[in-house]
C-alpha cells in the first residue's frame, strides 16, 4: 500500500512492483517456475542434495537480524512438509530435521559443518567456491543456467510481441542474458 511497506516486505523487487502498479506497468518474473527449475537440476543431481542447496541458500536470510532460536525455528519450518522445498519444488526427501541437515551437509563436503555457518550471502558464495563444496557449486550453476535460459526466452518473447522490456537482475544473471540477446 506504500513505498515503505513494499520495501520492508520485499526489498528492491517490492519497490519495483509498487512503482509498476502505480503506473499500470506489467511485471513478471524472469526466473521461471520452481517445479521446472527443480526438474532441470534433477537431471544431473539427486533430490536430497538439491534440497540441502535450497535450504542453505535461505540460511543467510533466516539468520539475519533474529536470534539463533528464531532462525532454527524458521529452518525447522522449511524442513517440514509445508516448507518451500516440499511445496514449491516437490522435494519431499531428507533432511527432515536440523540435525539431519547438518549431518547430510557434513557428509557432502567431507568435514564437520553446520547450516548456521552460512550467515551471509558472501559466506555462502565463499564456501561454494572451495573444493569441498563442488557439488553445491555445480547445483548453483545449474540453477543459474535454468534461470538465465528462462530470462532469455521471456525477454525474446516480449521483444517479438513488440513489448517494451526493462530487465532487472543482478550481475550474475545480467551479462549472460544480455550476451545471449545480442547474438
Cα dihedral: 125, 73, 85, 83 (round 10)? -150
Q: What is the pLDDT of residues 91-121, one digit of tens each?
A: 999 999 999 999 999 999 999 999 999 999 9
Lowest-pLDDT choice from 37-41, 43-47, 166-170: 166-170
**Both ends of the chain: CA-CA distance in Å?**
41
The span from the CA of 99 to the CA of 120, in Å, is 21
Q: What is the pTM of this model?
A: 0.87
C-alpha cell at 158: 516480449
Amino acid at each position: 500500500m506504500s513505498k515503505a511497506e513494499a520495501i520492508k516486505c520485499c526489498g528492491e523487487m517490492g519497490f519495483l512492483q509498487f512503482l509498476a502498479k502505480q503506473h499500470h506497468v506489467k511485471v513478471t518474473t524472469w526466473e521461471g517456475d520452481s517445479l521446472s527449475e527443480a526438474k532441470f537440476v534433477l537431471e544431473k543431481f539427486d533430490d536430497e542434495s538439491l534440497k540441502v542447496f535450497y535450504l542453505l541458500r535461505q540460511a543467510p536470510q533466516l539468520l539475519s537480524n533474529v536470534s539463533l532460536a528464531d532462525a532454527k525455528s524458521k529452518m525447522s519450518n522449511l524442513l517440514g512438509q509445508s516448507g518451500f522445498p516440499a511445496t514449491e519444488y516437490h522435494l519431499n526427501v531428507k533432511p527432515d530435521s536440523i540435525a539431519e541437515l547438518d549431518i547430510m551437509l557434513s557428509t557432502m563436503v567431507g568435514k564437520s559443518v553446520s547450516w548456521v555457518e552460512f550467515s551471509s550471502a558472501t559466506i555462502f558464495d565463499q564456501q561454494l567456491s572451495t573444493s569441498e563444496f563442488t557439488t553445491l557449486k555445480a547445483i548453483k550453476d545449474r540453477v543459474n543456467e535454468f534461470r538465465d535460459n528462462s530470462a532469455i526466452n521471456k525477454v525474446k518473447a516480449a521483444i517479438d510481441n513488440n513489448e517494451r522490456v526493462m530487465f532487472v537482475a543482478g550481475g550474475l544473471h545480467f551479462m549472460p542474458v544480455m550476451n545471449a540477446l545480442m547474438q
